[in-house]
Copies of this chain bind each other. A is one copy, B any other.
Amino acid sequence: MKIILEDLLEELKKNNIRLSHQRLKVLEFLVLNQCHPTADQIYNGLHKEVPTLSKTTVYNTLNSLTEANLVRVINIEDNETRYDINTFNHGHFKCQQCKEIYDFGIDIDSIYTDDLNGFKTTDKNVYFKGVCPKCSNA
Within 8 A of B (CB), among A96-122: 96, 102-106, 111-113, 115-116, 118-122
Identical copies in the complex: 2
The 9 listed contacts between A and B (C-beta, < 8 Å) are: A73-B78, A78-B81, A103-B115, A106-B112, A106-B113, A119-B131, A119-B133, A124-B128, A126-B126
Binding site for B on A (CB under 8 A): 73, 75-78, 81, 91, 93, 96, 102-106, 111-113, 115-116, 118-133, 136
Q: Which residue of B lies closest to A127 (CB)?
A: B125
| Nearest CB of B to A96, in Å | 8
In the complex, which of the residues B73, B102, B118 contacts A136, with contact meaning CB atoms closer than 8 Å?
B118
